[in-house]
Amino acid sequence: MRTTIAEDRLNDLILGSGKIVIFGHENPDGDSIGSAVGMYHYLTALGKHPHIVINSRLPEYFNFIIPAGSISYYNEDKSRCDGCIAAADLLIFLDMNGANRTGEVSQAIEAAMAKVDAPRSVLIDHHLNPQTKPFDVVISDTEVSSACELLYHVLLDQPGVRGDVANLPKECAEALLTGILTDTNNFANSVYPSTYLAVSQLQARGVDRDAIYNEVFRSYSEQRMRLMGHMLQDNMRCLKQGVAYFTLSIADKQKFDFVRGDSEGFVNLPLSIKNIRMTAFFTEEKDFIKVSLRSKGNVDVNDFSHKYCNGGGHKNASGGRLYMPLAEVPGYFESKVEEFFK
C-alpha cells in the first residue's frame, strides 16, 4: 500500500525548483543508481539541471546507465558535493528511508536542511519505517519490488506524463528497469503484480532487457567466479536452524583481486539449498564488518538485523554492521541465531 504525504505537490516542487540534487544511499546498488539516474533523466527532459550525489562509487558494471558528469562522489570530491547541496533548492532522496542513509554526506545535508531558507525535500522509498520529517513530500510503498518500480508508478502519475510510458525518456526507462532487475535479483524475490505491469511497459518503451541482464549479471571477472567457489567450498557453514552463513576476509579479497561489486549476489546463493531459510554474509571492511541477510517466507531478517546487527531493511533482505574482529563473528552470529529461533 502506498502511503503518501502531499504527492500532488511533487510536480509543483519540481517545476518550481532550479537546482536539484538527487541522493543515492551509501554502498549504492542497482536500485539506488537506477532510481537516481531515472529521476535525473526525467528532470533533464523537463529542462532542469539535476546533479546526483552519492557517498562512494558503484561497481563498474553500472557505468552503462550513468550519464557523463551526472554524479559527484562525496568521498572523492567533498567540496563539489558540499557546493551543490548548499546551492540546491530541492533535494530528492530515493531508495532510502531517511537522509541519514546517505552515509558521510548526511552531515552536509543536515546542515543545509537546518538553514532558515532550507531547500525543499522529497523522499521516495520502499523500505520499512520511512522517516516523515523533515521532508515536504514523502511517497512510501513497501509492497513494490524496488524504489525504481515505485518511481515508475509515481512518474507515470505526473501531469506531464499522463500515464503513458511513451512520455518518459528512454534512458529513464532503461535506468528504472535496471533497478527492478537488480533489486528482485532477476525476478527471484519481491515481485508483485505491479512489478510485471511496470516491466511490461518499460519493455514496450523499447528498453532491451537482455542487454541490461548481460551488463549487470554477466560482466564479472574469472577471479570473481573462483572467489565464489572458495566461499561456498571453504567458508560456508550450515546450522541446524536452517541458517547458512559465510565470511569474506580482507586477505581473501586480495588473493582473488576483489573489485567493488564482486560479492554482489553471494548472500543469495545458500538460499537455493532446500532447508535453508536464512542466510548471512559477512564482509570484512577496514573499520567494521558489513552484514547482508536474506531469508525465505516468514523469517524476518529486518527484525534480526535490528536486534543483533545494527541495521535493517526489508523482511526478506536486510543489511547491517558489526564492530568486532572477523574471527569473532561466527561465535557471535551462531549464538544470536540460537536466541532468535528459540
**Which stretches of the chain bind Mn ion, using CB under 5 A?**
31, 95, 146-147, 183
Alpha-carbon distance 141 to 154, whole Å? 11
Alpha helices (H) in 88-169, listed in sequence order: 106-114, 147-156
User: What sign has the CA pseudo-torsion 129, 7, 157, 22?
Assistant: negative
Burial group, residue 127, by CB count within 10 angstroms (0-12, 13-18, 19+)? buried
Q: 120 CB contacts (<8 Å, ≥6 apart)? A: 13, 17, 89, 90, 91, 136
Alpha-carbon distance 268 to 280, whole Å? 9
Closest to Mn ion by CB, 95 or 284: 95
Closest to Mn ion by CB, 151 or 322: 151
Minimum distance from residue 258 beta carbon to Mn ion (Å): 23
Question: What is the β-pairing status of strands 71-73 and 237-239?
Answer: unpaired
Minimum distance from residue 324 beta carbon to Mn ion (Å): 27
CB nearest Mn ion: which residue? Answer: 31
Minimum distance from residue 191 beta carbon to Mn ion (Å): 13
Closest to Mn ion by CB, 247 or 295: 295
Alpha-carbon distance 242 to 274, whole Å? 9
Closest to Mn ion by CB, 171 or 183: 183
**Torsion-angle region of 313 (φ positive above 0: left; ψ -120 to 50: alpha; else: beta):** left
Minimum distance from residue 146 beta carbon to Mn ion (Å): 5
Alpha-carbon distance 149 to 35, whole Å? 9
Closest to Mn ion by CB, 205 or 314: 314
Closest to Mn ion by CB, 147 or 216: 147
Minimum distance from residue 132 beta carbon to Mn ion (Å): 19
Closest to Mn ion by CB, 82 or 95: 95
Minimum distance from residue 184 beta carbon to Mn ion (Å): 10
Closest to Mn ion by CB, 147 or 151: 147
Minimum distance from residue 35 beta carbon to Mn ion (Å): 8
CB atoms within 10 A of CB 181: 24
Give the E-state strand segments of the chain in sequence order: 2-5, 20-23, 51-54, 71-73, 90-94, 120-125, 137-141, 237-239, 243-248, 278-284, 289-295, 312-313, 317-322
Which of 176, 127, 181, 136 minimizes the C-alpha distance to 154?
176
Minimum distance from residue 94 beta carbon to Mn ion (Å): 9
